[in-house]
Structure 1
């Protein structure tokens, strides 16, 4: 059991170094937090596919977790061999000799396990990118702009190459178009690179979309802007690029709502009327959506119920907001099951 305890302690150290909670790591590898807790405290042995999954989630060589335990490395190697055999690798790996391999060639074993983790991380990224292409409008638009720019430049260049006697005015027009299309292509390519590039953490990471980045910025503030309530400028800078535009739209809507329904009088009326949106709308003569947004902006530590529904950040950033009970019951909408319609 000492061997398992050493592996569990090493796992706990690596997890804490990366700032991950047990619940976060457990969710990534598909086990319960309580089971992970038992692993980290040496109450459960670890090996095989679970060892590979944990190593991939932490961006580690599996041997770094199982170091000092040849049995764990052999089991992890056996799991890799079984997956390769199931995928039709020929000649098939000698699964029965996994322990011998781990004992006689620890360096090669470490290399195989490290490459397995990397391949798994890359496969996961490909799958996530494929899902993004179906559901993420910003990524699809960026790719469309890149492909459109390449096509336009190739078409204009082809006409120039095939028409040596082209009128000078037309030639200058085509050259001008190529120049403009080249600049547009460069901008679209830079936007796509910024979208896809992200610091690697625990393997291969995906960059957040502008909507996700804007949502994180607002979530960090709990979708409340006390500076706006006081008539002051925001203390924190907005995100850059498209995410900043989404946040700016949210801030503009928030400021308009705060000007129409100042926090102090509205908070007192909300408590008196039991936070009933229809009554508040009639009392203040304001549209119901604005009332709902102002209810969501009320501080929960001042006698107001907490928000019970948070709408996801969409392209209309100003519409992303929470509502408070008893307006709606807790609900989490389903994830999209098919591709978004393309325009």
Structure 2
């Protein structure tokens, strides 16, 4: 904070995002900051700088997290650069100054361009996200995957359940039975082929497959309890989002899962355990009776004002490099926003060591360094002869914040990271022998007399 006090910052998008998240008008926020509404309007439009003194007031009055200054629309200049490097824009010759001016003058316009570009696949050869998936992911990222009201309600419910005994699953099942006349029943796989959970209202049963492990059973019971007891709180978040019908259903499902995880891992207790253990994921699994992926998800949600955890991002990939989950949270990491993966990132080698933690310190082209851990997970057990799904869950934080992590012990997180990119299409490192194709928007060069480390030679800065 101290190094920002004497600086001037253009961060209108961050101030506007904070005000809207708090539900304040410009007049209401201006009064609390002791400035005029017109001055606040100019700040939000990036026609006036955010001074260090005003930044301090924002922090004191509203718990503003200065890390949000790095959470630029569209991924900032670097995010726009990657997209505008596409060959379709090569003749426009848009330089970094123009990109900066665009972000300052019309941040929402830049964000709209980025979403539209990403929704059609960006021309990068990666499979585009469906409209519903992209729409849902965008609204989750606008909330930075932290829903304070749901956390508070889940924490209160978890405290009630603790009074009934130490076994959370048993307490959830008892609450469903006593308060809602629903019995939880574990069913043989032959009775529920292809299903892990089913609500049978005729029999008044929540039926769970025997394929589910104990952590998944607890989550399933908490998820269904959320459908009943957190319905109003969840609808109050979903309705104003103004999503398409498929995206609305996906967002609602995300929030139900969020509430269920918050019941299993109540915010204050979970954060204390994180700080006490150095964010030791495997130890946290045992302490909260949760799976690796459940813990990893929860780590991306620790955004409570005045009690924030480390800003983790998360991605989940399969062996083909396809991403089925991405959460940037408070981290604003390009690794969570990229459509591609770099084969030099050790995280993608997690499949070679199933169930083992893979640690890595990496450095991107923009100079940012990230400490990541990855491990394979199997969401459910398959019957003999069936398909056994396997994914790698990767979480990470900025290297400058990783020194408190148990997983970082023995690693010099202040040192140089392994150079990686965001997939070959978005990487302009010239001499990578692992390169599988040229970057977008770069003209290929050919020489009959020379052959470099890579088969792809192109114009570079």
TM-score range, shorter chain: 0.3 to 0.5
Of Structure 1 and Structure 2, which has the larger fraction of its residues in helix? 1
Of Structure 1 and Structure 2, which has the larger fraction of its residues in strand? 2
Q: Larger C-alpha radius of gyration, 1 or 2?
A: 1
* TM-score, L = length of structure 2: 0.29
